[in-house]
Amino acid sequence: MSDLGRQLRDARLAKGLSLDDVQEMTKIRKRYLEAIEAGDFKVLPGSFYVRAFIKTYAEAVGLSADELLQEHQDDVPETETEAVMEPVVQQRRAARRTSSSGGRSGKWLSTTLMWIFPLLIVVLVYIFVVRNDNGAPEVASNNKGQQQQETTTKPTTTTTPPATTTPESTTTTPESTTTTPPTGAGTEQEQSTPDATGTDEEATDSTTPPTDTASQPVVTQAGKEGRNTIFNVNYTGTTPLKVSIKATGQSWLEVYKSADSSGERLFFNNTESGQDLSYDLGDTGLYIKSGNSPATDITINGQPITDGKATSRIVLKLVKEAATDSSTDSTSTSTDSSTDGTTDESTSTETSGN
């Protein structure tokens, strides 16, 4: 085993990864990974693939690929340089042809530009003079139009003050109510209206949705299924839940829109330090696999999610069972408030009758 292969194997074992895991992460066949660790580069399809496979393997286990290849450049075969003399000769011949043709066309362009440039100057001067002659009447007409608009808009501003008469009409209403003789029907109306407004206020208070912390998600660890750790997310709110993934270092990361890797693939690549990802948690759940958990922070509305392993396989399931309880409570509250309102109305009616 070469020093390069031993270093890659030690980094893989330090992260708790098997060759099957690295094969799944890098899509490199297992026998090629074994050949890289053993230093048997003849098994690989070519010298170009040797460097590419080593670089991908190193990034998957968290090593710097460039430093690793620089350190073991004597052990890694160099890429074969193909003979490129013939294309270079063809390029030189093409350059000579273009230069000769360019010289001829350059002379023709210089002569044409000598005639076109004075003509352009004459045309521009003519356009400038014509615009100045026709522009003065247009400016005068525009000024007249602006003055007419200003004179027409001034009367409209003076008509707005009569809107202040509305408070006078409202202030006269108490006088009319005090001068009218008290009658039975009038007292009934005056006594019943406050009760009606009271019941309306109670009904509106009971139907308003609560704004406390009940809409915050509650995350609980429900157990394990094989190597996967299951987390149930109880949520009664209506806005979508945001699952945030922040990378503090390099790590292989996979995100699927399901409870396993058979769903829609949302992310499948190495992460860089400082990279932020955000996904909505729906009814199908999310499956998150991280090759380097210490370098991957997973949160739901600020709540951290972790299984305490070096290589995490986390399944997030959305649970909305608690939403029925809150709707039942709100229904019962509105029913009680409506019952209290009808009782107050009947009491006011009996009082007015007496």
Mind listing the pLDDT tens digit for each residue in 166-195? Answer: 434 333 333 433 434 444 434 344 344 444
| Reported pTM | 0.35
| pLDDT score, position 7 | 83
Of residues 314, 337, 317, 109, the one with CA closest to residue 229? 314
Instruction: Give the whole-angstrom CA distance, residue 190 versus residue 351.
Output: 12
Question: Which CATH fold would you assign to the domain 3-71?
Answer: 434 Repressor (Amino-terminal Domain) (1.10.260)
Position 267 pLDDT exceeds 90? yes
Yes or no: say if 36 and 52 are a contact pair by the CB < 8 Å rule. no
Looking at residue 202, its amino acid is: E
Give burial (CB, 10 Å; 0-12/13-18/19+) of 54. buried
Instruction: Give the whole-angstrom CA distance, residue 243 versus residue 280.
Output: 6
Instruction: Give the whole-angstrom CA distance, residue 13 versus residue 16.
Output: 5
Structure tokens at 337: 């408030």
Structure tokens at 8: 């890659």
Of residues 311, 267, 257, 264, the one with CA closest to residue 287? 257
* pLDDT per residue as tens digits for the range 282-323: 888 899 999 888 989 999 988 899 888 877 889 888 887 654
Residues of the chain above pLDDT 90, percent: 14
Confidence of residue 231 (pLDDT cuts 50, 70, 90): very high
CA-to-CA separations, 92 to 39, 82, 88, 105, 282, in angstroms, rounded = 43, 19, 6, 20, 61
| pLDDT score, position 265 | 92
* pLDDT per residue as tens digits for the range 82-117: 444 445 555 666 666 666 666 667 778 888 888 898
Q: For residue 219, what are the β-bridge partners?
A: 233
Domain boundaries, the chain: 3-71, 214-322
**How far, in whole angstroms, is CA 167 from its chain's centroid?**
50
CA-to-CA separations, 4 to 43, 46, 49, 69, 268, in angstroms, rounded = 16, 18, 16, 9, 27
